[in-house]
Structure 1
Amino acid sequence: MPETVPGSLSVSNDVIADIAGYAAMSCYGVVGMSEQLQGAESVRLLPGQRLRKGVLVSSTEDGLLVDLHVVLESGVNMKSVCENLSSAVAFTLQEIAQIDPARLKVIIHVDALKNRA
């Protein structure tokens, strides 16, 4: 049986970005995280070890704001994938980092569509 330990938990924004990135990658329809290239109007698909570059975490007076920049698989229902993605990221952050979902807002930016082949 789990035991409650008194104290507080502090999680850095980089760790939250890593957790959110890995949660996003486990969702159906997500090909990968993306990064906006400076000075260009194109995006780059990030390798698995650099997922946090596609996630921006910031604090607001209402709570925590997580911006995800993703590349989706071509032909998927974007609305369903984004709803699932938002839910999965919120659930994972609640489970691992103990972040209150009422104080968490997940914003998804679909930067590109790509065929998996």
Structure 2
Amino acid sequence: MPKTINNQYGNIMIDENVFATIAAISAMECYGLVGMASKNTTDNLVRLLKKEHLTKGVKITINDDEVNIDLFIIVQFGTKISVVADNIIGKVKYNVQQLTGVEVDKVNVYVQGVRVQKEK
């Protein structure tokens, strides 16, 4: 369901995919994030999504005046998860609000896994 903004010139409709794309790209810019994870983890297997499928790791819920964003992520081993999550929340909330003009109520971060770098 797209978000509709009414103004004096007419209506603006912003699709959920726009919010998801902005959120995914903003999150990927943060240090300590390896990538987005598939939000369908019913079989307990977490998949790291490729760049062209990043929005599959984002769930958007549109309320009357606000947007809620759920991010499913994989972090790098050795980084402090709380700091990575705080950075992602701040960056995603700021970018979505600045680029769309829609208030973001919550950004929830679900850490689906930790990626360990293999030594060479």
Q: TM range, normalised to the smaller chain?
A: 0.7 to 0.9
- Which of 18, 21, 46 is the matching residue for 2:24? 21
Compute the TM-score of the two structures, normalised by the length of structure 1. 0.84
What's the CA shift string for 1:17-63, capped at 9, x where partnerless? 01100000000000000004564111100000101100000123572
SS where residue 113 of structure 1 aligns? Answer: strand
TM-score by length of 2: 0.83
Counterpart residue number, 2:90: 87
Where does residue 72 of structure 1 map in the other structure? 75
Secondary structure of the residue aligned to 1:44 is coil
Q: Report the equivalent of 1:31.
A: 34
Query: Which residues in structure 2 correspond to 1:2-21 (within 5 Å)?
Result: 6-21=9-24
Number of aligned residue pairs: give it.
Answer: 111
Counterpart Cα distance in 2 of 1:66 and 1:6: 28
| Aligned alpha-carbon RMSD (Å) | 2.0
For structure 2, the 5+ residue unaligned runs are 1-7
Moved more, 7-16 or 79-88: 7-16
2-side partners of 1:61 and 1:9: how far apart? 14
The residue number in structure 1 matching 2:54 is 51
Shift of 1:116: 4.5
Distance 1:62 1:12 in 2: 14
Cross-structure match for 2:112: 111
Tell me the amino acid that sits aligned with residue 28 of structure 2: M
Checking the alignment, whether the CA contact within 8 Å between 1:31 and 1:116 is kept in structure 2 is no
Give me the whole-angstrom Cα distance separating, in 2, the residues matched to 1:110 and 1:57: 17
